[in-house]
Structure 1
């Protein structure tokens, strides 16, 4: 397992997220947070092993535009050095379309899901994206949180 600088890893996750947003090219309301660092659950919380995650979503866009964005990802991610690991439906009751991909070298992974609007709870059509880093040991010990 690599030892890395937490700020560098978070910046890399945000760059990968930005590139995925460019490929999607969906005009809507983007709900975005900055990348966050958390313990890597693969190693438990007793280990000083971390992962950076950058979740964000798009809503208030036509569902067909979001579907076209998913189609662009299927074509463009492999051209950008990503390997699509899964392209199908997630395990939810709704069976939402899902693409899971890993970057060349396995440094980053992305999980993209397209959710149809729900009449129960008034949930809108939503394109959900989560980019995360591979697990790493922090050079500084415990990562700084904003």
Structure 2
């Protein structure tokens, strides 16, 4: 994750498609940033919920990855999102943070939040991630 953050490695294809970047990568915590654009809005016009969900799922999975050894990875088992405030192209820089709350032998419990440029909480998420072998 630090390689992606530092530009030494390419970000995942989905991050490139939507346009978010990894700006923090520490053990158990990852932060992604996105400058919202009209192309990501629905007809309301608000940021499509799927864009926020994708950004949070990516940040949360990346946070899980930071606490695993090189021969393991994680996959999303479930993801629950609560949309608390609309995000729009006027929301400015959106920050999505994923943080590992608990690591078990076979799964991780991870929390995520997306905030607008003013720091207001827009989306809160929790998810379970299964630990898999990648030998």
TM-score, length-normalised on structure 2?
0.28
Task: Using CA pairs under 8 Å that are at least 6 residues apart, name the structure with larger relative contact order, 1 or 2.
Answer: 1
Return the structure number with greater strand share.
2
TM-score, length-normalised on structure 1?
0.27
